[in-house]
Chain A
């Protein structure tokens, strides 16, 4: 029987290790969390789910070495139409979710896998609460 390791995060910052690859990381802090991924390494993978909606500051995902990120995130409010936001794999190095318009509410889930080029491949759903859908991908 395969079981995934589960890591609960309730502090304002957390730095994941390579040994934690394969884990499900549960984000639970209304005042936000800065998640630092380890330096890029092929095959490293992490899944994230939001247990507590962010209401101030942000949920931020960034590599320790600021590695690039590519991927597509379907972003929507409950019952609302989705918008696709795309990371380009070159200039995008982070995701910033500030809550109502850029996500990080309950139901948000993301998967990160690092490829052979040291780029994080990201896919997932990002839950917002209003009609405005701002892009969580960031170049800084």
Chain B
């Protein structure tokens, strides 16, 4: 029986390579930062917003070093019951989840590291609007 590992986060954290394959829940209304490990082909993490953002803070999912990696991909981002916009990046250094962009319960983002050491990003983000996710 296959089961996914679940990691509940409520504070700033750096993920390890051994945690690859996990579903990471983001659970603090004030937000925090999650740092990915150094790139490694096939590493993958799923993130879900478990606790909605309520203030100025945000959930930030960042790469370890912009000198050695970046993020690219596409995410649908919008408001509940609204029409989302597709957001695309070929060279971001983090995913910036704010109240306006993905900060609501249900947002689900996936990152997978490719053979070039880049993080491929996909998912659906729900917040108050269509704010930019890639930064």
Contacts and interface: CB of A to CB of B under 8 A. Distances in A.
Interface stretch (A27-35, A37-45, A57-65, A97-105): A37-45
B1 A19 contact: yes
A43 B84 contact: no
Contact of A82 (B2, B3, B84): B84
A123 interface: yes
Given A18-B1, A45-B3, A72-B124, A84 B82 contact: yes
Interface residues of B, number: 29
Contacts of B25: 115-116, 121
Q: Select the residue from A44, A116, A123 with max chain B CB neighbours within 10 A.
A: A123
Interface stretch (A7-15, A48-56, A86-94): A86-94
Interface stretch (B33-41, B60-68, B100-108): B100-108
A4 B1 CA distance: 11
B126 interface: yes
A9 B3 CA distance: 21
Contact of B81 (A18, A70, A83, A117): A83
Interface in B104-118: 104-108
A43 B123 contact: no
A85 B79 CA distance: 9
A18 B50 CA distance: 23
A115 B49 CA distance: 12
Nearest to B104: A86
A44 B79 CA distance: 28
A74 B126 CA distance: 10
11 contacts: A21-B1, A84-B78, A84-B80, A84-B84, A86-B80, A86-B105, A89-B50, A113-B4, A113-B6, A121-B25, A123-B123
Q: Which 6 A-B pairs have the closest CB atoms?
A: A22-B2, A43-B3, A123-B108, A72-B106, A86-B80, A43-B4
Given A42-B3, A72-B106, A115-B48, 11 more contacts: A21-B3, A43-B5, A45-B4, A72-B80, A74-B76, A74-B124, A82-B76, A82-B83, A83-B84, A89-B106, A116-B6
